[in-house]
Amino acid sequence: MEKLAAQTQHTAYCIKAIAHPVRLSILMALSEHEKNVQELTQTIGTTQSNISQHLFQMKARDVLIARREGNMTYYSIRNSKVIKLVELMKEIFCNQ
């Protein structure tokens, strides 16, 4: 029973990490390939500070991973099934 409760709590914690319009936009932008903050800022159309805050939240909750190359950090989705989850939720809730 404790394991189920822990898994449920962790799942809710991770779902909260993607339950924001900017975060969903970031995930969709990263669905093709990794990107840095500047690329995400241009793609999504918000400030670098805003993007960085959302990236931090998703990285802290193990949704994203980061890779350093020189002075740039590139972000990618830890598990490609997250995109399938987002697509499924869009299909369920947006195509009614």
Provide the CATH number for the domain around residue 20. 1.10.10.10
Provide the residue range defining the domain that includes 76: 2-94
Q: Please count the structural domains in the chain.
A: 1
User: In whole angstroms, what is the distance from residue 91 CA to residue 4 CA?
Assistant: 28
Is residue 75 a contact partner of residue 64, using CB atoms and an 8 Å limit? Answer: yes
For residues 50 and 95, is the Cβ–Cβ distance under 8 A?
Answer: no
| pTM of the entire predicted model | 0.88
Residues 6+ apart with CB under 8 A from 21: none
**Tens of pLDDT along 26-76?**
999 999 899 999 999 999 999 999 999 999 999 999 999 999 999 999 999
